[in-house]
Amino acid sequence: EDVTIEQVAQAFRFELLDAGSVDSESLTAVMESDSKVELLLHWIQQLIVESINTDVLSIPAPLLSRAFQELSSGVVAFHHAMKISSIPFPFPYAQTCDILLLMHWLGTPIVMAQWVTSPWWGAVFSFAQVFIYSCLNMIAMEIENPFGRDPNDIDGAVMQKEMNRHLRLLLEPRTRRVPRLISATNSLRRHSFIDIWKERASSGTAPPDTSFVQRGTGHISRMPSKTTEDFMQALNSQRP
């Protein structure tokens, strides 16, 4: 029970975007509710409907129905995930596996003694057989609960921060504008982003917050360059 309470408390430590701007009454309602996901879904849908009625949100009906469909699909996936966490693993199946492993652990040395004359080789073969099946059983137990705080577990807090980073990117003024074509040519030019950024940086029109490209990998890192000189130095360090 203590572990369950700790896991529940850990879920409420995930990073949220501007949760402090919500009024106290709503925060209290979420805290006291036993169906927090359903309550938040209802609020989101109600907010969309009110925004449409007040002409704050004006989108075609097909796009609106698609948005509601995605919200419903997310709730369906959530309930499927809740089945995995709330419905216990079949007790007879788990006990049968444990009994079979115990019988295998006890019977393997006896069988090896009939086929191997050396005690050392018998111990080695017996250990290999028992170790392999025990490892497979432990791996299956870990796969049943992939989330946690162990080194090889899936970190839900990191996934939440990554999603928040993408949401913040969509709210930035420079990402809310639609890109425009600034020049027209008779022929189709085939350039990569690296070539275009080099050309803009050499002409002094490079953006001040252009991301570096990791050396030798071709992946974009998240560390922004502060000056055009830094950006040019990072680009010139790339080698095909």
How many other CB atoms sit within 10 Å of the CB of residue 134?
13
Tell me, yes or no, whether 81 lies in a domain.
Answer: yes
Report the number of distinct structural domains present in the chain. Answer: 2
Question: Which residue, 87, 112, 135, sits at the end of a domain?
Answer: 87
* This prediction's pTM: 0.59
Q: Are residues 61 and 117 in the same domain?
A: no
Q: Are residues 10 and 53 in the same domain?
A: yes
Distance CA 211, CA 226 (A): 9
Largest CA distance in the chain: 87
Note every long-range contact of 213-221, with CB atoms under 8 Å and residues 24 or more positions apart, other chains counting.
213/238
Q: Are residues 22 and 70 in the same domain?
A: yes
51-86 confidence digits (pLDDT tens):
888 877 788 888 888 988 999 999 999 888 888 777
Which residues span the domain enclosing 119?
Answer: 91-144
110-128 confidence digits (pLDDT tens):
888 888 888 888 899 899 9
How large is the average pLDDT for residues 138-151?
78
How large is the average pLDDT for residues 29-45?
88
Tell me, yes or no, whether 104 lies in a domain.
Answer: yes
Among candidate residues 45, 18, 42, the one with its CA nearest the CA of residue 30: 42
Q: Are residues 10 and 50 in the same domain?
A: yes
Residue type, 127: F
Residue type, 12: F
99-113 confidence digits (pLDDT tens):
999 999 999 888 888
Question: Which residue, 144, 176, 210, sits at the end of a domain?
Answer: 144
Distance CA 94, CA 82 (A): 20
